[in-house]
Structures are given as structure tokens and as C-alpha cells.
Chain A
Amino acid sequence: MILEIIDLKKVYGNKTVVNIDDLKINAGETVGLVGNNGAGKTTLFRIVLDLIRPNQGEVRSKGKNVAGNDEWKTYTASYLDEGFLIDYLTAEEYFIFIGSLHHFSPAHVMDYLKQYEEFFNGEVLNKGKYIRDFSKGNQNKIGIAAALMQNPELLVLDEPFANLDPTTQIRLKTLIRSLKNEHALTTLISSHDLNHVTDVCDRIILLEKGLIIKDFNKDENTLKELEEYFSE
């Protein structure tokens, strides 16, 4: 078990945004979080990444509370939104910066990025642009690639398929699957796209107003079930 959420609650005003009694995520699982806007997906991710303090309960990563603890950062990589990028750097500078936090040399980083040439589709590297001048889709790619570069054991991605072109969406799915098989990577993904989630995840968690409504392993009926749930 890599992640354990115990008795977690986050309240804004009189509205409970996250309310999870108990959730365990095992190493090597690819978990998809689905739910409409306001279901609490992003807030949950932020609590997992120790960006928001919960009103109650805790998130344990490898058995240790993430709050006030830096250990989880050594094996966790994430990309939630553009706020994770440093937009006045060039893409290369950003990768080198992230790499240096994990003690990769600049040469190592540039070498590593070669395998993402296909993923970047020639639109990211050596463009002579600051990150703020890239399109949203390419910013997304930079964030995701920087997260993957850290060789994480736990990967957290919020809406990774949004803003990506179809080719890149398919490439990203292949990438996540292969990482899971090779490195036993645990992934948390949120998405509004039910097709992608059921395609890539082996466990689906359905959130509504902060509560876990459903938590099940994927089978051939999952997509239909989800579509029925959301069309009600």
C-alpha cells in the first residue's frame, strides 16, 4: 500500500468539499478519479500533495503523514495545472531545474528528454520561447514530461488529457501503461473523459460532492456503467 487516506475532511464555509473515511491505494495501481465539477477531485489531489491543510484526518504516503514531511517528495511527481510550471523559463531551463532537484546533470536531462521527442512532436524543445508563450496543450506536455522525468513511484495528474491533441492523448496512455508494467508506477488520474479513464485505469473511483460513491475495479462493463451514472 502506497497511499492511505484516513477520515479526511475539508470544509469551505459550510460546504464539505472532501469527505473520505478510508481509502487505500496499492503500489502499481492506476486509479482514475471521475466526477462532475465540484466533486472534490482537485482539492483531494492538493491535500495529497500537502498544498491544502485538511480540517480533519490525514493522508499517509508509505505510512507517513504527508503534512509537514518532505520525504514523499522524493518518490512523488505531479502535474495539476500551469501553477506547477515556472512560466518565465524556457522549456529546457525548466527541465534542467526539475532535474537538478533530483541531482541529474543538465546533459543527463537533455539525454533523457530524447525519448520524449515523439511525445513532444517537435513542438517543445529548442523553440526559443518561455513557457508562458507556449499553447496550453504544449504547457501540459511540458508539465507531464517533467513529472515523468523524476522517475516517480507515485504519479498524480489532474486532467492530463485536457488540451492535448488526439495523437498525444494516445501516446500518453501508452506511456502510462508501459511505466506501470516496467516500474510498477502508481498513478492517480482525474479526468472528465470517461473513455480515457476506463481505457488506462484499472480501478475507478467515483466522487460526488466530496464523497466516494463508487470504488471498483475495471471490467468490460465499466464504461457503460459510468455513462449510465452520469446520464441520470
Chain B
Amino acid sequence: MLSTFLNHQWKAFWRSRNKGTSIAAQLFLGFVILYLLALAILVGFGMELIIGKLLPGKDVFYVFNGLILYYFAIDFLMRLQLQELPTLSIVPYLHLRIPKQKIVNFLNVRSLFSAFNILPLFIFIPFCCTAIAEVYGPFVAIMYVISILSLSAFNNFTAMYIKRLTTVNVKAIIGVVVVISSLALLEYFKILSITEISNRLFSFITLHPPTAFTFTIVALVMYFINGKYLQRYMYTEELSTAQEKKVSTAYPFLDRFGAVGVLAALELKLILRHKRTRSALIMSLVFMLYGFLFYKKLLLEKDDIRMMLFAAVFITGSSISIYGQFMFGWQAAHFDGLMVNKTNLKHFIKAKFLLFTTISTIVAIITSFYGLISPKILFIQFAAYCYNIGIGTVIVLYFATWNSKAIDLSKGSTFNYQGISASQFILMVPYFLIPYAFYLPFALNGHPYWGIACLAFFGLLALCTRSFWVTFLANELNKRRYKIAEGFREL
């Protein structure tokens, strides 16, 4: 039975409707995984050398033992973020003559097919087989391998369990966050050291090898807890979404813009009410921190601001470029509805401008704290902000009129490559190169700040001539709207 399920999954992957993109994405992902695996093998076999080089004079086994739990702690956090829950795939089987227990087992086993479970094997096992087997004997080495396999499985099932808990019960997220962050704080302030605990545990195992089975037992317990939980909540609606009461909201700020504001409010709700768009938004907020990497006092004193211009454009415009690159695919599911209703394309375009300008302005205001490093940064960021809302928005929306790839918002966000095509990558090139077209002529002649001023000027010029751009974009969209609508219907 289990093999039948896995066989179906295999077919589902190869026969999926947007096979082209998903295979390309999986290939890309495959290469990334292969690369990571190759790295892992290198690290695995070179462990002795690497430890010796990086931490000379320290006992190799001491470092290795300390590393194990540390690795799995990070691994666990990554899993919580990235590992997908295999749930929806079971819907067609629930009503058939298949015992629940089998479906539960399938879900549990299915979750083991993940790169997360392969990586640690490559990283740790080579060292166990070589160095540990040599010094402590083969029995201890085998017990090491068993502990690593068990820890991996334990992480796998615990992460699944927590993910399941948090999808059903939103409050559980708070608990998980509190526990993890307090552990992280304890580690940070050296009150409780994961490395130290790990060291003691594995030194103990070298002395009393059979105790390694404790890990196995804990992993098995987690497996059964998961199974029990799944058995109890084997209803798709309980597995997938939380049942909370939804409320209607209004945005008074946008109301004052009339019909355009109504459309902008509509899109804001779209962003806030879907996982994938929310994470795009959060991403662009995280990118606000990039300033700490790029804004260097030393470079500012030398007026070497080339990279800072890029950073400023990226920081103040990441929301535009990250969210905008998939436009209007976000609205694929109701594009027909928007087209037949009593709005027009100009309003449609203006609403995008309004939304971009609002978000970009908020980000620009927040990130003005970088001005504390140097007022020069404020100037660069202001120019970048003018570029983003004046020229960047036009570029993004122009590319959007060529994009007829729909995005299914009901899908999650991690490793979701749906809607991605070559045009998205092409978009990024002009978006980040054009600022240099304004900057470089001046910078090469030794006046970098005149270049920045030039960028700001043209950004503001484009902003002042916005009504022209709105008409232009509405006409472009009108030319291709049938093709876009057709592409979106294939969702």
C-alpha cells in the first residue's frame, strides 16, 4: 500500500499541469541540493582537516561532539521554516477502503523524503566511519551513526508535529516562539551552552555506547505521537486551515483616493490575507536590514558609494520589485471579474501606483534611521526612493503587462516557483542597472553626489509626469489584456 501511495506521488509530480516550470524549478532545486550534498560530503570527509585548520590545538573529537547537537538545533529551526507538510495529497484516499492507520503511516513516511534528512548523513557519517571507528572502535562508531539517524528522524517528526499543531491552533505559535527564543537567549548569554551539552552527551556515549538508543526511543515516541495526532485529526479541513472568524476591514486612509483607493484597498487585502504575498512583504521588510551590510563608514568617508546606491535602491524598493515582479498574476483568479466591472484600466494602473508609493514611502521613512550613520546616506536613500516611485514602478508595471502567468494564491510560499518565468529575472536587470545610467556619468568624472542628485531629479520628473505614464501603461495593458486574461484562466 505504501508503495502505491509513493507511486501516485511520483506520478502526481511528473504529470502536474504546469510541469514545465515545476521541473525546471525542481531541477534548479535539485542542483542546489546536489551542491549542498557535495559540500556536505567534502565537509564529512574533511572534518578532521577542517577542524584542525579552523581551531588549531583543540581536540578534534571535542569539537565534533560539540558540533552535533548544534547542527541539529539549526536544522530544526530550518525545518520549521522550510519543510512542507504532506497533507493535501491524501484527500482522494480518505473515503476509500483503506485503513486510517495506513494513511497515517504514509504521511509519516512521506515526510522522511526530504533533503533535510539526507544532509546530516553526509556530514557526520564519514567522520564516524573513519576517525571514530579508528580511535574508539567500530561499535562506538555504529552507535554514533544510530544516534545521528535517530536525531534526524526526531527532528523530522517533531518539526512536523509542531507545524501541525500551529496550523490548527494559532496560539501554539506563540508558545513555540517563546520556547525557541528563550533557548536561543540562554545560548547567547552562555547560560546554557548547546555545544557543552552535546559534548557531554556524546562523551558519555563513547563510554557507554548502548545509551545511544535513547535517541532512537525518543524519535520513535515522536513518530507515535505524530501518528496518534494524525489519526485523531484526519479531517482535511482540520489538517489544513485554522477555523477562525474572519472580519471585514476597511482602510480609511485609502478611501480618500476614491475609486483608485478602493482598488488599492482590494489589493492590500489580497497581500495581507494570503500566505505567499505576506511572506513577500515580510521578505522586503527583512531586506531593510541590508543597510548594515552595505553602509560602511569607511567607504562613506572615501565617497565610494557605488554599492551603497544599489543597496539604497534595493532597500527602499524591494517591496516594489519583489511583489511587482509577479504582477498581475496575483489577481489571476479574479481578473475576469475586474475587467467586466465598472472600472477602467487607468484606475487599475493608478491603484498599483498608489499602493507602491504608499509602501515605498513607509519603508523610506523607517529606513531613514540609517541617517544616524551619516547624513550622506539619507541623501542617497532619498534619491533611490525617488527613483523607485518614479521610474521603478513604471518599469515593473510595464513588465507586468507582458506577464500572463497566473499565481495560485491558495498554495504556500516556500519553494513555490509557480508564476516564475524568464521575464521575472529579466525584470531585475534593468531595475537595478538603470540607476547607474544616471549616476555613472557624474561619478566617473569625480562627482558622485551630482550623479545621485541627477537620479533624484529624473525620479521626481517621472513622478511629476505620472499621468502620462498611467495613460501609456493603460494602453499597453489594453493591447495585451485578452492574452493576459486567457493565461490567467488556465490557473
Contact = CB atoms under 8 A, between A and B. Distances in A.
B256 interface: no
A172 to B, nearest CB: 20
Contacts of B270: 88
Contacts of A89: 266, 269
Contacts of B337: 83-86
B333 A87 contact: yes
7 contacts: A70-B342, A73-B340, A73-B343, A76-B340, A88-B273, A100-B262, A102-B342
A74 to B, nearest CB: 6
B246 interface: yes
B118 interface: no
Interface residues of B, number: 31
A51 interface: yes
Contacts, number: 80
A68 interface: yes
Interface stretch (A91-99, A187-195, A197-205, A217-225): A91-99
A96 B250 CA distance: 10
Contact of B266 (A76, A81, A97): A97
Contacts of B373: none
B259 A101 contact: yes
B478 interface: yes
A138 interface: no
A74 B343 CA distance: 9
Nearest to A93: B248
A73 B341 contact: yes
Nearest to B241: A133
B334 A84 contact: yes
B266 A83 contact: no
A83 B341 contact: no
Interface string B394-435: 000000000000000110000000000000000000000000
A83 B489 contact: yes
B246 A74 contact: no
Interface in B338-372: 339-344
Contacts of B489: 83
Contacts of A84: 334, 336-337, 340
Given A51-B336, A83-B489, A87-B334, A130 B259 contact: no
B236 to A, nearest CB: 13
Given A83-B489, A97-B262, A100-B259, A50 B269 contact: no
Contacts of A129: 246
A166 interface: no
Contact of B246 (A70, A82, A130): A130
Contacts of B335: 83
A60 B443 CA distance: 58
Contacts of A46: 336
Interface string A103-133: 0001000000000000000000000111011
